[in-house]
Chains A and B, each alone.
Chain A
Amino acid sequence: MPDLPYRIVIGLEVHVQLLTQTKLFCGCSTQFGLPPNSATCPVCTGMPGVLPVMNRHALELAVKAALALNCQIASFTKWDRKNYYYPDLPKNYQISQYDLPFSREGWLEIETSAGPKRIGIIRVHLEEDAGKMLHDEQGGGRESLVDLNRTGTPLLEIVSKPELASPEEAKAYLEELRLLLRELEISDCEMQEGSLRCDANINIHLPQGEGQLVATPIIEVKNLNSFRAVERAMKYEAQRQYEEFQRTGKKLGEVAKATAGWDDARGVTVIQRRKEEAADYRYFPEPDLVPVTVDPAWLERIRAGLGELPAAQRQRLQKQYALSAYDADVITGQGRAFVRYFEEVAGRCQDPKEACNWLSNEILQMLNERKIAIQAFPLAAEALAELIRETKATGLNKQRAREVLARMLETGSPAKQAIHDLGFKVVADEGQLVEIVRRAMAANPKAVADYKKGKTKAADAIKGAVMRETKGMAKTEVVQQLLLQELQKA
């Protein structure tokens, strides 16, 4: 890709819904998809005289997430009221955290084409979600409807430093965050269900004058409904800012920060009316809740329960199994259960590379087709390991091995049995193979002649003929080797 005439600077603000049974300040269910206003109570609907009570499990999950994001956990934290009026916020204030969030200063490592990169995290804090509004989008003038089921659901707000340097990095950050939080069972991170929401702050830096860099005004892009949309929107907006700067020359600080909505259908950002002043939320400490002091022993217990996180896992897989960075990323990206399966197969067949090949290709494809996770896969790790061992021992080629796998899944029989049932017998005798090779060469004089002229690819036609005759039961590497040998002699 050609170098851009500008540097992109992106910061992401992500909200994830925590996987608690109940809301952050009351006992209502957080279950998705319930009938409107059925999971509510006087507390989350903000009736007169009610009081919030903090959900301890929510705090535990929040701390777990912050630890996994390498954050400092505050020993003392408190709740604040963020005051603004909106029908989906029944109290007309949101209980959030302002100046003493429970965690700050962390990082998330992502894989980039230039290797691993740490993206800084400014803070992670807890707050309650608002409800949902349903507007008459057609502009038919009907009433707007309010569903308060979601009001009070615990949200984790994760604010990154503006250290993402490309749309691809932004997408990678979101994917890594999703992997991490799903593995730790902190959140589902489903953008379609709204359990992960993302707003992106973006501007560009471009050279101006004698080696100086100028920055464009920051735009906050909202209405991003998928990771792909984030990537596309960032690419579009960066370019749009570049073109706008050419026209207007407006720099960072000269205009107020504006908001833009991403129109996925048209593939454009639409600037909303610039607000000259930031909203004044009149934050003050929530008097109905007591501050929280974090018990160090409790913190350590959570830290100890984190287990191996994806970044460390990738490194270990590369070191321990000599996997490439790419392969390690694929395996890790499928989650802890998948990694466990991989490690079991690799250990039993003693060939991590083969294990990786099978898992990243055939097995993953099957899981996707059947729409299941590895835990539901009917083939035990040992069975796959046996297939790999048998394939290597007999010299069965990949094509045939796939047929064996299919048979194993169909009948539940072990590899050896399946191979026998399919009648696969490998032609291993070299003498036999040499004869077949010579016959194939004799049948394809043009190919041989082309090869001698320097067209090395011509040998493939002869190899194909050999494989056909052996019904694919020969080791391709051996055939290749013998063929080259004979071609040299010819």
Chain B
Amino acid sequence: MSERTAVEYLTLLDRGELTSESLTEQFLQTIRNRDPKVQAFLHVDESGALEQARLVDMRRKRGEPLGTLAGIPIAIKDVLCTAGQRTTCGSKILQNFVPPYDAHVITRLKQADAVILGKTNLDEFAMGSSTENSAYQVTRNPWNLERIPGGSSGGSAAAVAACEVPLALGSDTGGSVRQPASLCGVAGMKPTYGRVSRFGLIAYASSLDQIGPFAHTVTDLALLLEAIAGHDPRDSTSVDKAVPPYRQTIEQPVRPLRIGVAKEHFGKGLDAEVEQSIRAALKIYEQLGATLKPISLPTSPFAVAAYYVVATAEASSNLARYDGVHYGYRAASFENLIDMVCRTRGEAFGQEVKRRIMLGTYVLSSGYKDAYYVKALEVRRLIKEDFDRAFTECDVIMGPTSPTAAFRVGERTADPLAMYLSDIYTISCNLAGLPGISIPCGFTKDGLPIGLQILAPPFEEEKLLRVCRMYEQETDWHTKRPKL
């Protein structure tokens, strides 16, 4: 029963065949059963969620107008501020931080009458590709508990995949929604930069971060995106552009459809089984009348390096505020101010966070800034231009989301660089600010999910969703659920 889509639940709720309270209780029960193994959630707000659900039921009974997500349970990556509820960012340094404000998207979800079940696990401060960097727990891939769910939004992806919630929110800075979606066999999306307000999203890399939805299907993605997208005066980088009614047009196939296939996405390091699934998916599009156009994104080989310079530079500054002075963790003993700050950050930041702060500080420092930071910005511009050129020849670009399926817990933790290369196909999209989706397109022979990534020009989410829906109509990957 918890395996359905949000759209299906809305219909059932609307028809009175289900109450929100019973639906919420059902998901809470699934969490109780499965999450001890999956470890997707950091905190579950059972009483709060049931109360929200009851309220929606009451208002529905009275015939009051309800929001677009009325009564639907949703999980939130613990990088988004929820007023009055602990928001930890997967870090010890915010272990007892309770924000006095909601993130913009949380306010929107409340306006949509969604039922917020709880906060999900993540790589600390959204830095990672496996959710192994959380200070609290390691989330497991519901398709194989020995494997990682991907990261940094591993908790949200696993929660949806394990049917603990039908919808979840994550954040994507270098692929942190798309990659775990791919590894967990669910749909995940990164909207165009500026499409969704970042107010209340605890910042990792300000010019790259975007909040994105997880669901089983693209129609559910559209539902959630409509609820959270749009201009917010509290975020100067959020764009004042109307939000199209994505669900209204999603069933319309895109014809003609030119699909760009970048040779750089099919090179060394791409697992053979993954490639096979992607090629099969492309064949299906061809059968639907699409044309495949070979394109080149020549600056691709430099994307990971450019990302790890720009993102860490911004992160080193964004994370400077965690110093034990005003809020959060403070070291228990220290000699003076500087000692306090050093001990606080030394004790409460994890290894990967420290690594990236140091890297970011270095690339901005006097004598190195031009060679690293400024150079990376130039590379970023070239990457964007690659896409601009490509999109004159094609409507969307398709390829694998991740070079491999889910790897084992602990497999890449000894080699940060190997971990960084997990993001090789997703990272350019953030650098260029484009929208991108990963949808399930197969499994390895070991039963591990494979994801198809589709990229579109800025603010073309409407077309992107329609293109994804075309594939869904022809396949049934999106109906598969793990046995737990």
Residues of B within 8 A of A308 (CB): none
CB–CB B202/A53 < 8 A: no
CB distance from A488 to the nearest CB of B (A): 84
Interface readout for A138-172 with B: 1 if CB under 8 Å, 0 if not?
00000000100000000000000000000000000
CB distance from A292 to the nearest CB of B (A): 11
Residues of B within 8 A of A50 (CB): 101, 199-200
CB–CB B99/A287 < 8 A: no
CB–CB B326/A45 < 8 A: yes
Q: Which one of A53, A87, A280, A288 lies within 8 Å of B233 (CB-CB)?
A: A53
**Complex-state Cα separation, A90 to B326, whole angstroms:** 7
Contacts A49-B202, A290-B236 hold; do A42 and B317 have CB atoms under 8 A apart?
no
Interface readout for A26-60 with B: 1 if CB under 8 Å, 0 if not?
00000000000000001001111111111000000
CB–CB A48/B323 < 8 A: no
Residues of B within 8 A of A51 (CB): 198-199, 234-237
Residues of A within 8 A of B337 (CB): 87
Instruction: Judge whether A371 is part of the interface by a CB distance below 8 angstroms.
Output: no
Contacts A48-B87, A282-B361, A287-B314 hold; do A90 and B321 have CB atoms under 8 A apart?
yes
Instruction: Judge whether B177 is part of the interface by a CB distance below 8 angstroms.
Output: no
Residues of B within 8 A of A257 (CB): none
Residues of A within 8 A of B203 (CB): 48-49, 288
**Complex-state Cα separation, A246 to B312, whole angstroms:** 50
CB–CB B99/A48 < 8 A: yes
Instruction: Judge whether B358 is part of the interface by a CB distance below 8 angstroms.
Output: no
Interface readout for B302-336 with A: 1 if CB under 8 Å, 0 if not?
00000000000110110011010111000000000
Instruction: Judge whether B390 is part of the interface by a CB distance below 8 angstroms.
Output: no
Which of A42-101 touch B at CB < 8 Å? 42, 45-54, 81, 83, 85, 87, 90-93
CB–CB B198/A46 < 8 A: no
Interface readout for A162-201 with B: 1 if CB under 8 Å, 0 if not?
0000000000000000000000000000000000000000
Residues of A within 8 A of B314 (CB): 284, 287
Instruction: Judge whether A108 is part of the interface by a CB distance below 8 angstroms.
Output: no
Residues of B within 8 A of A289 (CB): 236-237
**Complex-state Cα separation, A175 to B327, whole angstroms:** 42
Binds A, one of B3-11, B220-228, B362-370, B400-408: B362-370
CB–CB A83/B234 < 8 A: no
CB distance from A200 to the nearest CB of B (A): 26
Which of A288-347 touch B at CB < 8 Å? 288-290
CB distance from A139 to the nearest CB of B (A): 14
Contacts A85-B341, A282-B369 hold; do A47 and B99 have CB atoms under 8 A apart?
yes
Contacts A91-B320, A287-B206, A287-B207 hold; do A49 and B233 have CB atoms under 8 A apart?
no
Q: Which one of A49, A53, A93 lies within 8 Å of B236 (CB-CB)?
A: A53
Interface residues on B, range: 35 or more
Residues of A within 8 A of B320 (CB): 83, 85, 91-93
Instruction: Judge whether B138 is part of the interface by a CB distance below 8 angstroms.
Output: no
CB distance from A11 to the nearest CB of B (A): 23
CB distance from B460 to the nearest CB of A (A): 22
Residues of A within 8 A of B361 (CB): 282
Q: Which one of A81, A90, A288 lies within 8 Å of B237 (CB-CB)?
A: A288
Contacts A54-B236, A288-B236 hold; do A48 and B321 have CB atoms under 8 A apart?
yes
Instruction: Judge whether B103 is part of the interface by a CB distance below 8 angstroms.
Output: yes
CB–CB B364/A284 < 8 A: yes
CB–CB A47/B237 < 8 A: no
Instruction: Judge whether B89 is part of the interface by a CB distance below 8 angstroms.
Output: yes
Interface readout for B179-210 with A: 1 if CB under 8 Å, 0 if not?
00000000000000000001111110111000
- Mostly, the A contact residues are loop
Interface readout for A441-469 with B: 1 if CB under 8 Å, 0 if not?
00000000000000000000000000000
Residues of B within 8 A of A46 (CB): 321, 326
Nearest chain-A residue to B374 (Cβ)?
A284
**Complex-state Cα separation, A87 to B364, whole angstroms:** 22
Instruction: Judge whether B94 is part of the interface by a CB distance below 8 angstroms.
Output: yes
Residues of A within 8 A of B100 (CB): 42, 47
**Complex-state Cα separation, A46 to B323, whole angstroms:** 11
CB–CB A280/B365 < 8 A: yes
**Complex-state Cα separation, A199 to B449, whole angstroms:** 63
Instruction: Judge whether B74 is part of the interface by a CB distance below 8 angstroms.
Output: no
- Mostly, the B contact residues are loop
Instruction: Judge whether B431 is part of the interface by a CB distance below 8 angstroms.
Output: no
CB–CB B317/A93 < 8 A: yes
Contacts A282-B361, A282-B369, A288-B206 hold; do A49 and B323 have CB atoms under 8 A apart?
no
CB distance from A412 to the nearest CB of B (A): 54
**Complex-state Cα separation, A93 to B361, whole angstroms:** 13
Residues of A within 8 A of B317 (CB): 81, 83, 93, 282, 284
Residues of B within 8 A of A49 (CB): 80-81, 99, 103, 198-203
Residues of A within 8 A of B41 (CB): none
Instruction: Judge whether B143 is part of the interface by a CB distance below 8 angstroms.
Output: no
Residues of B within 8 A of A287 (CB): 205-207, 237, 314
Q: Which one of A54, A87, A280, A290 lies within 8 Å of B366 (CB-CB)?
A: A280
Nearest chain-B residue to A289 (Cβ)?
B236
Residues of A within 8 A of B199 (CB): 49-51
CB distance from B103 to the nearest CB of A (A): 6
**Complex-state Cα separation, A49 to B125, whole angstroms:** 11
Nearest chain-B residue to A279 (Cβ)?
B366
Nearest chain-B residue to A82 (Cβ)?
B317
Interface readout for B337-356 with A: 1 if CB under 8 Å, 0 if not?
10001000000000000000
CB distance from A2 to the nearest CB of B (A): 45
Residues of B within 8 A of A42 (CB): 99-101
**Complex-state Cα separation, A284 to B81, whole angstroms:** 26
CB distance from A302 to the nearest CB of B (A): 22
Instruction: Judge whether B373 is part of the interface by a CB distance below 8 angstroms.
Output: yes
Q: Which one of B97, B236, B316 lies within 8 Å of A48 (CB-CB)?
A: B97
Which of B104-154 touch A at CB < 8 Å? none
CB–CB A48/B81 < 8 A: yes
Interface readout for B276-310 with A: 1 if CB under 8 Å, 0 if not?
00000000000000000000000000000000000
CB distance from A277 to the nearest CB of B (A): 9
**Complex-state Cα separation, A90 to B341, whole angstroms:** 13
Residues of A within 8 A of B325 (CB): 87, 90, 146
CB distance from A147 to the nearest CB of B (A): 12
CB distance from A145 to the nearest CB of B (A): 12
Residues of A within 8 A of B207 (CB): 287
Residues of B within 8 A of A280 (CB): 365-366
Residues of B within 8 A of A81 (CB): 317
Residues of B within 8 A of A53 (CB): 233-234, 236
Contacts A47-B327, A92-B320 hold; do A52 and B236 have CB atoms under 8 A apart?
yes
Residues of A within 8 A of B323 (CB): 85, 92
Nearest chain-B residue to A48 (Cβ)?
B202
**Complex-state Cα separation, A45 to B235, whole angstroms:** 17
CB distance from A262 to the nearest CB of B (A): 25
**Complex-state Cα separation, A139 to B203, whole angstroms:** 39
**Complex-state Cα separation, A287 to B325, whole angstroms:** 24
Residues of B within 8 A of A284 (CB): 313-314, 317, 364, 369, 373
Q: Add 19 more A-B contacts to A83-B364, A288-B203, A289-B237 (CB < 8 A).
A: A46-B321, A46-B326, A47-B99, A48-B97, A49-B103, A50-B101, A51-B237, A53-B234, A90-B321, A91-B320, A92-B320, A92-B321, A146-B325, A282-B317, A282-B361, A284-B313, A284-B364, A288-B236, A289-B236
**Residues in chain A within 8 A of chain B (CB atoms):** 42, 45-54, 81, 83, 85, 87, 90-93, 146, 280, 282, 284, 287-290
- A-B pairs, top 10 by smallest CB distance, nearest first, are A92-B320, A287-B206, A282-B364, A287-B207, A48-B202, A280-B366, A49-B200, A49-B202, A49-B81, A46-B321
List 12 A–B pairs whose Cβ atoms lie within 8 Å, in order of A's numbering.
A47-B100, A48-B87, A53-B234, A54-B236, A85-B320, A85-B341, A91-B321, A92-B321, A92-B323, A146-B326, A290-B236, A290-B237
